Structure 1
Amino acid sequence: MVRTLSCVPIETASDNKDTPIIPVRCFSCGKVVGNLWESYLELLAAGVDEGDALDKLQLKRYCCRRMVLTHVDLIEKLLLYNPLDRDRR
């Protein structure tokens, strides 16, 4: 039996390059944190410290703070590896 994986085409992801790959919910408590990423980056760009930015976003639990604080946005690096751009042999 051969199993195949269905994949979403990369073009749909590359249309919107500002889309972060941050988990939608906290792994520990389940609070929604995915919508706070852009606000967090804006606060950091404004010169606010990380802890103060998390406080302004009302992230009080350390598990939720960890989700935002330790996230590494890899979408730009992942989009460089588009398998559809490779020459097919």
Structure 2
Amino acid sequence: MIIPVRCFSCGRVIASDYGRYIKRVNEIKAEGRDPSPEEIEKIFDDLGIERYCCRRMIVSHVDLISEIMPFS
């Protein structure tokens, strides 16, 4: 679905960081490889996402909007 605007646990705004996170991950994938856990951690650190609850919200998000749109 759509990324939640705020973290469910702490209330920090995370929706604005999601696009930048996806962009950085896609840059790594464009090189023909999957990002390592260390690279993911570096991306989060660069974006200023320090809390594990906020990281969980972004990492565990599954973008299904393109699959659901034909049914609306």
Which band: TM-score by shorter chain? Answer: 0.7 to 0.9
Q: Which amino acid aligns with 2:57?
A: M
The one of 58, 66, 72 aligned to 1:76: 66
Contact 1:50 1:69 (C-alpha < 8 Å) held by counterparts: no
Q: Normalization by structure 1: what TM-score?
A: 0.65
Does structure 1 residue 42 correspond to structure 2 residue 23?
yes
Alpha-carbon RMSD: 1.4
| 2:11 aligned residue | 30
| 1:86 aligned residue | none
Structure 1 distance, partners of 2:65, 2:14, is 18
Q: Normalization by structure 2: what TM-score?
A: 0.79
Structure 1 distance, partners of 2:71, 2:64, is 12
Whichever of the two has the greater Rg, that structure is 1
Gaps of 5+ in 1: 1-19, 83-89
Which structure shows the bigger proportion of residues in helix conformation?
Answer: 2
Q: Which amino acid aligns with 1:67?
A: M
Percent of aligned pairs sharing the same letter: 41
Query: Where does structure 1 differ by over 3 angstroms across 4 or more consecutive aligned residues?
Result: none
The one of 43, 64, 82 aligned to 2:54: 64
Aligned length in residues: 63
